[in-house]
A and B are shown apart, each in its own frame.
Chain A
Amino acid sequence: MMGDLTFDSSRALEGGFADVPVHSAHAFRAAMECMARPGRIEDLAGGQGPEPLSVAASVLLLTLCDPETPVHLAGDHDAGPVRDWITFHTGAPLVGPEEAMFALGTWAALQPVDRFAIGTPEYPDRAATLIVETDRLEAEGAVLTGPGIRDQAALSLPEVAAFQANARLFPLGFDAFFTSGARVAALPRTTKVR
């Protein structure tokens, strides 16, 4: 990759965690709270990849991805600077949608989502995690119920039907993070959406 003429080192080398163990610990704790409490919105900090990557998506990649996690980039996120940045900072192989453990893009770019792994009956954990970049992320809109939610929660989802269909696959199905600027929320396959 270093010999690649399109590799812009000044951008690819920057934007990682300054203090990896501590930044990734804080980021994971926030991401875990989001996944454990669907609809909860947390702020992430400490990393920034090139455009169009948000801070929150950058930090999720730095925290969760490494050479063992194939990543799929969809739409505008499949750009040279983003590929270089992910390769340099995480070493994650960049792959097609079917092989991806993590898939990154806008909701429109990630379509159709039935390309992504949903796990197997014996290993439902072998399912993709989508990182969906959104323009806005607010605790309003779709109504969420299920594990992690005491009564009900609300989250501005890009659509409802796809997540209803995904929840019907339980215990199979993909899981999703939503990112907007520094903000992150999550929607595991267990959450019922209406």
Chain B
Amino acid sequence: MDGQDQAYNFAYLDEQTKRMIRRAILKGLAVPGYQVPFASREMPMPYGWGTGGVQVSAAVMVPEDRFKVIDQGADDTTNAVSIRKFFEKTAGVAVTERTGEATVIQTRHRIPEEELGEGQVLVYQVPIPEPLRFLEPSEVETRKMHALEEYGLMHVKLYEDIARHGAISTAYAYPVKVEGRYVMDPSPIPKFDNPKMEMAAVQLFGAGREQRIYALPPYTKVVSLDFEDHPFDPSKADHPCDLCGAEDSYLDEVIVDDAGGRMFVCSDTDYCGTRQANGHRGALAAEDAA
């Protein structure tokens, strides 16, 4: 608490707002995958910059937390740095880039490579929480579809992918079914991350502009939608990381010159950095060091 700017209430939000968000989180945990409406507040950052995640983080945070923020896996991008600074200032919490040391991790579009454990909370920033929204624009209708468990349209969409492309072409925000009941948008994480969602940590999802909170308790059954003859495939670039040599991590493709040169690197900067510190080297790592 020493570092907290006393001009702010702890973690920025007023207490009544936090209570409202906390009640929504509890109901979200009680009905996994169901989107709980909440009265999202104006935050000192624009919609699209993680206002939903920030409000959820503010509601769960305690002064003793160690906070980590990633944007597409990276701790050092603008969005991640500014949210980390926001909570350093308004909550006085310690921050870290180490996945294993963090107690609350706010993420935009990735799940860390390192397995999360009990005692950790993963907070997702969600742009469009409704998985059926691009199939059915009406909120009244999508709410009815969830109530009636009427998810045929989603399977038609995935089937049309197969008919047109020979495979399900959805590569991120790949829809999942939670505990055999609600179809849920996992936020725009790559489908590579979907199998990790059955984890020991608590997962909370905040959509600020769309005013929805949803949640997954630990060990909740999360199944990516698929067909018997086209099973779910959590694919990634068929390449090891060029910096740390990891073959099991999700990779970003980076263009490195004007001649079409490119390299693949881990999107999870902490995972890649820790591996390099432990002596692992990829194909292009030596050049970089020279």
Contact = CB atoms under 8 A, between A and B. Distances in A.
- Chain B interface mostly: mixed
B32 A190 contact: yes
A36 to B, nearest CB: 4
A69 B220 contact: no
Contacts of A32: 22, 25-26, 29, 60, 202
A105 interface: no
Contact of B15 (A20, A31, A124): A20
Interface string A163-194: 00000001100010000000000001110000
Interface in A103-128: 119-125, 127
Contact of A35 (B10, B29, B34): B29
B22 A147 contact: no
B218 A36 contact: yes
A147 B62 contact: no
Contact of B60 (A28, A65, A125, A170): A28
Interface string B1-18: 100000001110001101
A129 B26 contact: yes
A68 B38 CA distance: 13
B20 A21 contact: no
A122 B143 contact: yes
A63 interface: yes
Contact of A63 (B22, B118, B219): B22
Interface of B: 1, 9-11, 15-16, 18-20, 22-32, 34, 36-37, 59-63, 118, 143-144, 146-148, 179, 181-182, 200, 202, 215-221
22 contacts: A21-B10, A25-B62, A28-B18, A32-B22, A33-B202, A36-B215, A64-B26, A66-B16, A66-B19, A68-B20, A121-B148, A122-B143, A123-B37, A124-B34, A125-B31, A125-B34, A127-B27, A147-B32, A171-B31, A175-B27, A175-B30, A190-B32
